[in-house]
Amino acid sequence: ADVPASRVYSAADIVADPQYLARQMIETATLPDGRAFKIPGIVPKLSETPGSTEWLGPVLGEHTEETLQQLGYSADAIRALRDAGTVSLGASGPQP
């Protein structure tokens, strides 16, 4: 029994584990629409420089319109892709 072993955690196990919670390894973030959700915290957690999540990244579709334009898609083609539900243009994209 000189083999290190541990159970394999599921995502549900991790967010409920008291040690993960005590070490703030799971953070609660807020989406632009106000909804809260759990994200991984900064690892390792250092006492003098623990770190924190400052930016969650772009919203879904935030750069889609710009990328499609750079690929040569016209505004009408991009609108058609959006209207068909093929792409999301995020909050900043042209609305119907």
How many Cα atoms sit within 13 Å of 74 on the Cβ side? 3
Mean pLDDT of the chain: 88
**What does the pLDDT look like over 10-40, one tens digit per residue?**
999 998 999 998 988 899 998 888 899 889 9
**What does the pLDDT look like over 65-75, one tens digit per residue?**
999 999 999 99
Report the C-alpha gap between 89 and 80 in whole angstroms: 12
| pLDDT at residue 95 in the model | 45
pLDDT > 70: what percent of the chain? 93
